[in-house]
């Protein structure tokens, strides 16, 4: 079945007399009316959970919206939401929507870097010109307050006495629903303006491409403040009326198997996660635990937010086959905050498609099929989602390129944001591209990729591209290769980049920072470096081992290569060992203060 047929089915109202869904508020009201017994079950620990139904969310949101109105907050005001992962976050989203406010999610990572987190929240609030900050008392105390910002705490769970006084705020599709601050994997985070029209259209798209409806059980752990978790998990469930089983990212990282346990226990149909999550489960879930699981209920398993590696998918599918996991349920997808979320995805009911291409041709910007043993296998992220149009252009001339030619990915469609909050120049640069001078605008994503038979293959970021003697080398290729040599399952975290040390030297010099345990064999590291250098014909390559968990990532788990380089250069990221060509190794060692490594 095609995307368009699936989307058309979703547009049909629940019954003949149902009003149209034009805003997220309409969708929330629809779910409360038609699937009010469904809702969110949030696991605080493996054995303790809290459940709130959509009907209860609705009543509490109407109560809270009356309180907000009485306090002087009006439709169109912006509310920053600073919450730990919990039902309180979704309660706050509901309250803001029912009051007609614009939701501004802020990251609150548990337990670490509290001062930086507080400064980040204050800076977001200032940039967004927020009228209030909604947060729990615990978060406020942990972060030592929010300076001069006005703080709002939700009423007690279950308070609904003011619900009948609620009046619809009169939202329109053009009103701002969410101000989504980007995770900043390649630059300073910016507020992406998502209207209710953008949000409703993209939620319909996610529902269609991931086969989610009111009878679906969604299971997940993604960060609630990031687009993939917020829109693809929390709001997708509220939009469709699906039952949502959720837990925090911290609990997942502490107990990866619990994610799959909850799928098995609740007969989950849809889940979503980045590549590293599937690699983590493959490595850490024991044989005994696998024997207890039943993953046969899964219909769609989305993988995105970071490069999709076919090796990760195959290893996961092989390991969990005996508990009912089917490899065709994997759904590689491509998306971004600037497009609300979904841009492309594998068609439901089809197998994951890959292309084996010549690595030398890939470096020259062409995807040429190859049957050789050394071919690079790239994963399709499927065709354009319903209503979306994909275009690949030369990054400099902006002229469209032929299929199989790598260029900048551009996207157009009703889910594309109107731009960045109060940043007209950056909005014009990213959102103002009109091919051939036409009327239809395209978003320049800054990502590189190519089209083949109407399907999108993503190869990297323009700003991360490594150029050596005219060859374009994608950091992910280097990172995947070195990880295969330095970790048993090929899932070591790595960051590859051109080196620009304190002496200003560069030009063909490449550094691979790789996380590792303290126990390592220098000869193995040297051998891995030589293998990568030979594979990619790199004369000047250094591998730098750093401790696990120290390579910086965005809130969605993407490796921050430029920040890694900066931290290495400035000595903030400590090296355990360096291996490489003598001249470059000496320069890197001097920058790292490791003359004798």
Could you report the per-residue pLDDT of 137-188, keeping only the tens digit for each? 877 776 666 777 788 999 998 889 999 999 999 999 999 999 998 755 444 5
Q: Tens of pLDDT along 445-481?
A: 989 999 999 999 998 877 776 766 556 677 877 887 8
Report the candidate in 417, 451, 255 with the shortest Cα–Cα distance to residue 341. 417
Beta strands 389-393; 151-152: pairing state:
unpaired
For 300-309, the pLDDT digits (tens) are 999 987 778 8
Backbone CA torsion sign across 552, 558, 561, 566: negative
* Mean pLDDT to the nearest integer, 8-22: 60
Mean of pLDDT values over 355-361:
91
Which residues neighbour 575 within 8 Å (Cβ) at sequence distance 6 or greater? Answer: 544, 545, 546, 568, 592, 594, 597
**Eight-class DSSP state of 552:** -
User: Does pTM top 0.95 for this prediction?
Assistant: no
Instruction: Place 587 in a pLDDT band, splitting at 50, 70 and 90.
Output: low
* Residue 213, pLDDT score: 95
The pLDDT value recorded for residue 11 is: 46
DSSP string across 478-540: HHHHHHHHHSTTS---EEEEE---TT---SS-EEEEEEE-S---HHHHHHHHHHHHHHHT-SS
Is residue 233 exposed (0-12), middle (13-18) or buried (19+ Cβ within 10 Å)?
A: buried
pLDDT at 586 over 80: no
Is the model's pLDDT at 486 over the cut of 50?
A: yes
- For range 242-262, the mean pLDDT: 95
| CA angle, 436 then 387 then 23, to 5° | 120
Nearest by Cα to 24 from 61, 60, 49, 56 = 61
pLDDT mean across residues, the chain: 86
Q: Are 547 and 219 in contact (CB under 8 A)?
A: no
For residue 558, give the DSSP letter.
Answer: -
Q: φ and ψ at 566, to 5 degrees?
A: -60, -45
Does residue 497 register a pLDDT over 50? yes
Alpha carbon distances (Å) from 543 to 461, 482, 523, 525, 584: 21, 9, 12, 8, 11
Which residue, chain included where needed, has tokens 């995105």? 304
The CB-side HSE value for 338 (13 A sphere, CA atoms) comes to: 22
Supply the pLDDT for residue 185: 44
Asked: is 350-462 a CATH 2.30.38.10 domain? The reply is yes
Which pLDDT does position 120 carry in this prediction? 78
Concatenate the DSSP letters of all residues of 574-597 into one string: -EEEEEE-HHHHHHHHHHHT-TT-
Domain 466-592, what architecture? Answer: 2-Layer Sandwich (3.30)
pLDDT value of residue 13: 44
pLDDT for 294 equals 97
Q: Is the pLDDT of residue 240 over 50?
A: yes
* pLDDT band (50, 70, 90) for residue 233: very high
* The pLDDT value given to residue 204: 96
Q: What is the pLDDT of residues 503-536, one digit of tens each?
A: 334 455 788 888 888 778 888 888 888 888 877 7
How far apart are the C-alpha atoms of 185 and 199, rounded to whole Å? 23
| Confidence category of residue 434, pLDDT binned at 50, 70, 90 | confident
Domain ranges of the chain: 350-462, 466-592
* Percent above pLDDT 70 for the chain: 86
Number of other CB atoms surrounding residue 110 within 10 Å: 14
- Contact by Cβ (8 Å): 79, 73: yes
Contact 417, 340 (CB under 8 A): yes
pLDDT higher than 80, residue 3:
no
pLDDT, one tens digit per residue, over 85-102 is 899 999 999 999 999 999
* Per-residue pLDDT, 498: 78
Cβ of 377: how many Cβ atoms within 10 Å? 13
Mean pLDDT, residues 558-580 taken together: 80
Task: Output the CA angle 473-479-481, nearest 5 degrees.
Answer: 90
Q: Is the pLDDT of residue 282 over 90?
A: yes
Kindly list the strands in the beta sheet with 455-461, ordered across the sheet, starting from the edge strand earlier in the chain.
354-357, 376-383, 455-461, 443-452, 407-412, 389-393
Dist CA 10 CA 207 (whole Å): 8
**DSSP letters of 225-278?**
TSHHHIIIIIHHHHHHT-EEEEE-HHHHHH-HHHHHHHHHHHT--EEEE-HHHH
User: What's residue 335's pLDDT?
Assistant: 93
Q: CA-CA distance, 290 to 323, in Å (whole number)?
A: 6
Out of 117-121, 166-170, 197-201, 334-338, least confident range: 117-121
């Amino acid at each position: 079945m095609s995307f368009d047929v699936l989307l058309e089915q979703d547009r049909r109202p629940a019954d003949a007399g149902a009003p149209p869904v034009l805003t997220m508020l309409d969708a929330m009201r629809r779910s409360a009316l038609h699937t009010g017994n469904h809702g969110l079950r949030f696991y605080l620990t493996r054995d303790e959970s809290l459940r709130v139904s959509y009907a209860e969310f609705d009543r509490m949101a109407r109560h809270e919206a009356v309180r907000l109105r009485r306090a002087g907050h009006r439709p169109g005001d912006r509310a920053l939401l600073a919450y730990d992962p919990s039902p309180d976050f979704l309660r706050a989203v509901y309250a803001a929507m029912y009051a007609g406010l614009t939701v501004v999610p802020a990251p609150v990572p548990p337990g670490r870097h509290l001062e930086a987190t507080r400064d980040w929240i204050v800076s977001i609030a200032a940039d967004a010109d927020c009228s209030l900050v909604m947060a729990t008392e615990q978060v406020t105390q942990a972060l030592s307050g929010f300076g001069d910002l006005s703080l709002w705490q939700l009423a007690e769970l279950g308070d609904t006495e003011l619900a009948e006084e609620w009046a619809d705020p009169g939202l329109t599709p053009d009103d701002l629903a969410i101000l989504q601050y980007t995770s900043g994997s390649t630059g300073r985070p910016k507020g992406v303006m998502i209207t209710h029209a953008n949000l409703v259209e993209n939620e319909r798209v996610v529902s269609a491409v991931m086969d989610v409806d009111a009878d679906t059980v969604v299971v997940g752990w993604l960060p609630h403040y990031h687009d993939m978790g917020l829109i693809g998990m929390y709001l997708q469930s509220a939009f469709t009326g699906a039952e949502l089983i959720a837990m925090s990212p911290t609990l997942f990282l502490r107990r990866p198997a619990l994610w799959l346990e909850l799928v098995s226990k609740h007969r989950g149909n849809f889940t979503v996660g980045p590549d590293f999550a599937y690699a983590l489960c493959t490595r850490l879930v024991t044989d005994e635990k696998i024997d207890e699981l039943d993953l046969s209920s899964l219909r769609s398993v989305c993988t995105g937010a970071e490069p999709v590696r076919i090796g990760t998918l195959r290893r996961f599918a092989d390991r969990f086959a005996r508990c009912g996991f089917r490899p065709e349920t994997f759904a590689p997808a491509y998306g971004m905050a600037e497009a609300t979320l979904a841009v492309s995805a594998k068609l439901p009911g089809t197998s994951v498609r890959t292309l084996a291409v010549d690595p030398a041709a890939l470096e020259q910007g062409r995807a040429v099929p190859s049957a050789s043993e050394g071919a690079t296998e790239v994963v399709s992220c499927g065709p354009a989602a319903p209503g979306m149009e994909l275009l690949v252009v030369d990054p400099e001339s902006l002229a469209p390129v032929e299929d199989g030619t790598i260029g900048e990915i551009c996207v157009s469609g009703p889910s594309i944001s109107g731009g960045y909050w109060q940043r007209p120049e950056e909005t014009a640069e990213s959102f103002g591209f009109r091919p051939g001078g036409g009327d239809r605008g395209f978003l320049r994503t800054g990502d590189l990729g190519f089209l083949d038979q109407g399907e999108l293959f993503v190869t990297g970021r323009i700003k991360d591209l490594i150029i050596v003697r005219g060859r374009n080398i994608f950091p992910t290729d280097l990172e995947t290769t070195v990880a295969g040599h330095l970790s048993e399952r090929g899932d070591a975290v790595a960051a590859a980049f051109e080196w620009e040390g304190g002496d200003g030297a560069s030009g063909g010099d490449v550094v691979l920072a790789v996380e590792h345990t303290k126990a390592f064999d220098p000869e193995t590291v040297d051998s891995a470096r030589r293998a990568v250098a030979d594979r990619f014909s790199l004369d000047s390559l250094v591998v730098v081992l750093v401790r696990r968990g120290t390579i910086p990532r965005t809130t969605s788990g993407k490796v921050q290569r430029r920040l890694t380089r900066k931290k290495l250069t400035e000595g903030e990221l400590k090296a355990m060992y360096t291996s490489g060509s003598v001249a470059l190794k000496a320069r890197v060692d001097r920058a790292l203060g490791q003359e004798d490594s």
